[in-house]
Structure 1
Amino acid sequence: MTKPIIVTALLAGLLGGAIGVGGSALLDHQATPTAPVLSSQPANTVNAADVKPGSVTYAAQVASKSTADIKVQMAQGTAVGSGIVLSSDGYVLTNNHVVAGAGSGSKIVVSTSDGKQYPATITGTSPSYDLAVIKLDGASGLTPAILGDSDALQVGEQVVAVGSPDSLSNTVTSGIVSALSRTVAAGDESGSGVTVYNGLQTDTPINPGNSGGPLVNLQGQVVAVNSAVDTGQASSGGPQSFGLGFAIPINTAERIANQLLKDGEATKPVLGVSGSLSSSDREDGATVTVQKGGPAASAGISSGDVITKIGDTPVADYADLMAQVLTHAPGETVPVTIGSGSGARTVKVKLGSTVDKQQTTVPESDGQSGGSRLPFGGNPFGQLP
């Protein structure tokens, strides 16, 4: 069995004292009639293929129209992130950690691709999935994003990220899909606010302020929500990691966003077990304590059982288990494998449901927050990932 990788990240909104107004003006690099042409090819045909579907240029042009800059102005500083326009009248999807600091006395200001600014309010949040929907006051005529199918992604496929790293509006970066399923345990620099979810991995550069922005395919369709980046051991004086970004698959994000739009809140699945991370565990799998009367107990799972698979996906530990459960919808029936080898057995569990009001966290055996922490596409505590 190949042990799944758990990566660690930091939150991706940027928080600082006096953060400058978002970004610099975009320059028009198109050739003018008087510009010199350093080619025998006519100027109006140069790079013509690059603006067709299937190119990074095309993807960037499409995605930029539906990407917004988000600033949350608070007493202690300003959180900066990005957002994905969902509707022409101003509903925008972003990361929960971008707007989590918004409270009494704070103000959310959103800039759209046409240069207009709008005040915004929070429609609903889903802490476990690190997603939120906000509403721009008085907006109209915006360009909604085109949502793709994250289940159709392939490793090696080219993708493009658009957002506002360090308040540089409409910044475009490109890369590939590096892996389709990673257990991400992400938190801020202080080690608090740790949340666990399942994300896809990309080498597309994701920087502070990219949080909540779109990761799109070469057709310009949103396939994921940028959320985290692994900085390696840089914060402790060790080697810096590069090219390890993480995003929330759009199929998951779309389900959560629809719930937030409809009800102002979202639900998450419940397996009905608890557990922890322990460095003394030597076998792959999550040793669980079963909650009385819960879905796992009803399916015949007992305390002390070691869960090794959810569906066809191997489970390495308790963080992995929680992340895999979150890939399913409440009420869904999933096969759960207990044990390994000749003694393994599989039961079917109908997942329960609960309103998502707090992050899904994984304690270590000593009661401290566990899992690895990767920086989200913008660290809310002001240090670059």
Structure 2
Amino acid sequence: MTENREQGPDASAPQGPRADQHPVPAYAGAAAPGAPQAGARAHWGPPPSPAPYGAGPTGPGGPPTLVEPRPRRPRPMTGIVAAALIAGLVGGGAGFGGAYALLGDGSRPSTTLTSSAAAPAANADPGTVAGAAAVATPSTVDIRVPLAQGTAEGSGIVLTADGAVLTNNHVVAGATGPISVTLADGTAYEATVVGSSPSYDLAVLRLQGASGLTPATLGSSADLQVGQQVVAIGSPQGLTGTVTTGIVSAFDRTVAVQGEDGSAVVYNGLQTDAPINQGNSGGPLVDLQGRVVGVNSAIATGSSESTGSIGLGFAIPVDQAQRVAQEILDTGAATKPVLGVQGNPAAGDGGGAQIGAVEPGSAAAQAGLAAGDVVTKVDDARVEDFADLVARIGARTPGEQVTLTVTAGGAERTVEVTLGSAPDQAASTTGGGRSPNTPFGQSPFGGN
């Protein structure tokens, strides 16, 4: 997936990648030099190795395939990139950075996000693309973020009338100055980061002095059906208020993207063929009633030189995004569920996620999981490799009980596990990372 960030001397005009530009500023398909390559901690909190999970070559020889359709088999290589537009980047350094600390005076009004029926669209038939656009466009914003080199541009979703806005973490990570947010009517505000969730690639902003905004109506991603029509709204290539349409293509796609600093983000994504391009990151994917069902985040591209949509877009399901956003609004930080095992995302033949080690006292240990066990399902969702396990667990909530289907020695059993919880402080290695040659388990990922 390519990050919807592009840079050039003129930050106001989108420009295509030049030979002297890093083709994938933040969510490169191949691992960045010096990035971790080996194992990963098998609970959700610590993301897996940023090494590719597909069958393609890595490094300068070609971008790997990071999203694996089912069944797994060789196919043309694509790169997965985030969808934020960066203007002015020369030679890399876009900076998919770490989590932000809470900004402001620490006082937070009580805010509760709710799902409800969408209001009828004015001058547009409800249940149509035009009706959905009329409902959702006033709640979609353009976000510009100054970076060390250039400006990042993405999209966002208005959550509250007093200026809480949801976007992707990769849109605002690495900000070096005031963030500018522009409403659909052209009104501009400065914004600060309330909190971020690196593991889910989400962040919440607060517009300074805002009131009377139009909050988006949040729907339910659990109620979606494959083939259902959806609409994406955002600022692709800086063209604010752009509306595109398509369908829900698939659920439970394991989406893995990597920043230049080696941080990895793995989530359980919603796939759509609605055209999503650089600049759509953080914007809404809505149903025909104008209800938000996903947060547009990443796209697959045909090659490292091509960064446009090829009909493979990925969004963070709104049910997951709403939980994370609510926690950030309430406390300034988010949590993530923890299983408590370690494994190697680069290993496996599609037959499940093999556990390499179980952390003492973890949820997995309490449930009786052991090294050598192979997890093939989380509830009814198939698990083909360790990246799948990370994504499936991450789609759950801390404290939730899940049923794992496990095989060991040819025998299959089911195990009930109550997931633990950890602060979502980073989606990267700790302690300066690890050597690509370090065996997994000796220097586990994560910060908890």
Under a length normalisation based on structure 1, what TM-score does the superposition of the two structures give?
Answer: 0.81
Q: d(CA) in 2 for partners of 1:133 and 1:352?
A: 24
Q: Which residue of 2 aligns with 1:206?
A: 276
**Mapped pair 1:142 → 2:213:** yes
Deviation of 1:193 after TM superposition, in Å, equals 3.1
Q: Which residue of 2 aligns with 1:315?
A: 383
**Mapped pair 1:156 → 2:227:** yes
Deviation of 1:364 after TM superposition, in Å, equals 11
Q: Which residue of 2 aligns with 1:79?
A: 152
8 A contact 2:87–2:153 mirrored in 1: no
**Mapped pair 1:228 → 2:295:** no
Q: 1:296 aligns with which of 357, 364, 369?
A: 364
8 A contact 1:102–1:108 mirrored in 2: yes
1:256-312 Cα offsets, whole Å, 9 max, x none, are 100000000000000000111235x33511111111111101100001211111111
1:56-95 equivalence runs, <5 A: 56-95=129-168
Q: Which residue of 2 aligns with 1:170?
A: 241
Q: 1:275 aligns with which of 343, 347, 360?
A: 343
Q: d(CA) in 2 for partners of 1:152 and 1:302?
A: 35
The gaps in structure 1 that reach 5 residues or longer are 20-47, 370-385
8 A contact 1:160–1:174 mirrored in 2: yes
Q: Which residue of 1 aligns with 2:66?
A: none
Q: Which residue of 2 aligns with 1:287?
A: 354
Deviates more, 1:208-217 or 1:332-341: 332-341
**Mapped pair 1:196 → 2:196:** no
The code of the aligned residue for 2:282 comes to G
Q: d(CA) in 2 for partners of 1:367 and 1:312?
A: 34
8 A contact 1:277–1:365 mirrored in 2: no
8 A contact 2:262–2:428 mirrored in 1: no
**Mapped pair 1:123 → 2:190:** no
Identity of aligned residues (%): 55
| Secondary structure at the counterpart of residue 301 of structure 2 | coil
| Secondary structure at the counterpart of residue 134 of structure 2 | helix
Coordinate RMSD, CA, aligned: 2.9
Change in Cα spacing, 1:73 to 1:148, as seen in structure 2 (3 Å) is: same
1:113-151 Cα offsets, whole Å, 9 max, x none, are 121100000001001110000000011111000010110
The code of the aligned residue for 1:198 comes to N
Q: d(CA) in 1 for partners of 2:409 and 2:220?
A: 35
Deviation of 1:206 after TM superposition, in Å, equals 0.5
The code of the aligned residue for 2:156 comes to G
- From the CA coordinates, give the structure whose radius of gyration is larger: 1
| Secondary structure at the counterpart of residue 230 of structure 1 | strand
8 A contact 2:170–2:201 mirrored in 1: yes
Q: Which residue of 1 aligns with 2:258?
A: 187
The total of aligned residue pairs comes to 334
8 A contact 1:176–1:203 mirrored in 2: yes
8 A contact 1:90–1:136 mirrored in 2: yes
Q: Which residue of 2 aligns with 1:306?
A: 374
